[in-house]
Structure 1
Amino acid sequence: MTHHHGNRVPADPERVNFHDDVEARYWCEEFDCNNEELREAVSAVGERATDVRLHLSQRHD
């Protein structure tokens, strides 16, 4: 299996889909977080990528 590091754009770039392994990996790289943090952020703020990004950036401060 080849890894296209950071090359694959999600089916919907506005929505964070952590149920798809490939997309979850993409978003974890995009937001510099792990799967657990990604799941937590989506459950806190919903699936909108901008909201998830903001939530995770505030947490790293």
Structure 2
Amino acid sequence: MAHIAAAVGVAAVGAAVVIGRLAGLSGALCNALVQTRTDPASPGQVTSVSTFSASASRRSATR
């Protein structure tokens, strides 16, 4: 029984690592897309608003 619990724990950690890596990659790609599609005169403002809105949506999802 202990072997099964250990295997499930290892599988859960592996799944968390994979999900974390994919989430990080997707965030990086989205940020790159936002920066490449932004008007050259205002990349800082657009990136700031994009980052703020993403963090605000994460905060509201945890409440």
User: What TM-score do the two structures reach when normalised by structure 2?
Assistant: 0.27
Q: Which has the higher contact order (CA 8 A, sep 6+)?
A: 1
More helix by share: 2
Larger C-alpha radius of gyration, 1 or 2? Answer: 2
TM-score, reference length from structure 1:
0.28
